[in-house]
Amino acid sequence: MFEFAWPWLLIILPLPWLLYWWLPVARQPAPSALRVPFFQDVLSLQPRQSILSKRWQVHGLIRLIWINLVIAAAGPQWLGEPVTIPQAGRNIILAVDLSGSMAIQDMQVGRRPVDRLTIVKQAAREFIQQRKGDRLGLILFGTRAYVQTPLTFDHQTVERMLEDATIALPGPETAIGDAIGLAIKRLQKVPEQSRVLVLLTDGANNAGVSSPKQAAAIAAKNNIKIYTIGIGATRMVINTFFGPQTVNPSHDLDETMLQEISEQTGGMFFRAFDRQQLQQVYQSIHELEPVENDETTYRPIESWYSYPLATALLLSLLLVGARLWSLNP
């Protein structure tokens, strides 16, 4: 929609015409006669005919200049379609374990065995899509922890970065303490009431420089709530030399440590044995940390004052150029 920012300025458009009609005409004294002995030479120096030879052409050009100046001063602008922006909600960092054990195929999709990371990606994708209005970040950790995606409203980028994650890329071991410490550094820069860390792992802390308990204590002091998720089945049939055997593929998972971390920070510990349970875990976290529903609406404004202003400038240059042309024989 087109509109003027200051439409009341348009009332000055007829001002020059009003002044022309209201003000008295200035009377010019009759010029005195002058005898010039070299009259023919003076005639040869008279100016060339202007490209704006007609009086109405000059007056019309001046009127156009004035109209464009007034329109530019009134602030013409174009209002775009209303855009709804959700207000900033929570700041949530997902910390995902990429240690070598995430390659264990103790999960199933359509009765087909898949590794743990594949299930994590599928369930996390749904959780990310639900968090409209929140800023999300992604930390990947193995032997080392690193920020894959800083806190952002661009959820598609977070999804894509998680989808591109590769098992054992940051090392085959598990540095849970370092992952929590890295999340603390990122969450310290955001408001205290919106700091959340969702940490998913299938093992125990066996790498890194920070212990999980020390990192959790620092997180608690900084009002960072940590939800911990332990993933992995408890029964898995493998073929051995002596035939099929049932083993516990999650024997390395330190559930006690994960539960202590969550309790210390005011969060919760969840255990996911399969895809369905992991989806339920993410849904539970989604309900525990509800999304802010408040939204703000604005209309993008594109200012157009430069167009009539540029037109007035070009017309002024044309008027001056025509005058200079006529004065230079």
Question: Which percentage of the chain shows pLDDT scores above 90?
Answer: 42
159 within 8 A of 55, measured Cβ to Cβ: no
198 within 8 A of 162, measured Cβ to Cβ: no
**pLDDT score of 32:** 60
Number of C-beta neighbours around residue 146 at 10 A: 14
CA 149/CA 195 separation, integer angstroms: 16
Question: Which percentage of the chain shows pLDDT scores above 70?
Answer: 82
CB neighbours of 127 closer than 8 A, spacing ≥ 6?
282, 283, 285, 286
Which one has a higher pLDDT value, 118 or 34?
118
pLDDT band for position 3 (cuts 50, 70, 90): confident
Task: Classify strands 195-201 and 91-97 as parallel, antiparallel or unpaired.
Answer: parallel
Dihedral sign computed on CA atoms, order 53, 55, 58, 61: negative
Bridge partners of residue 272, in order along the sequence: 231
Record the pTM. 0.64
**pLDDT score of 305:** 86
pLDDT band for position 139 (cuts 50, 70, 90): very high
**pLDDT score of 199:** 96
Which one has a higher pLDDT value, 294 or 225?
225
Number of C-beta neighbours around residue 255 at 10 A: 13
pLDDT digits (tens, 9 = 90+) for 161-182: 999 999 999 999 999 999 999 9
pLDDT digits (tens, 9 = 90+) for 23-61: 776 666 656 655 656 555 555 555 555 555 566 677 788
**pLDDT score of 50:** 53
Res. 286: pLDDT tops 80: yes
76 within 8 A of 120, measured Cβ to Cβ: no
Which one has a higher pLDDT value, 109 or 131?
131
Res. 252: pLDDT tops 60: yes
258 within 8 A of 230, measured Cβ to Cβ: yes
Q: Which CATH number does the domain 85-295 belong to among 2.40.50.140, 3.40.50.410, 2.70.98.40, 3.80.30.20?
A: 3.40.50.410
pLDDT band for position 189 (cuts 50, 70, 90): confident
Break the chain into its structural domains and give their ranges.
50-80+301-329, 85-295
Q: What is the mean pLDDT of the chain?
A: 84
Tokens 């390659």, residue located:
103
Torsion angle of C-alpha atoms 9, 14, 16, 17, degrees rounded to 10: -170
**pLDDT score of 117:** 93
Res. 83: pLDDT tops 80: no
**pLDDT score of 98:** 94
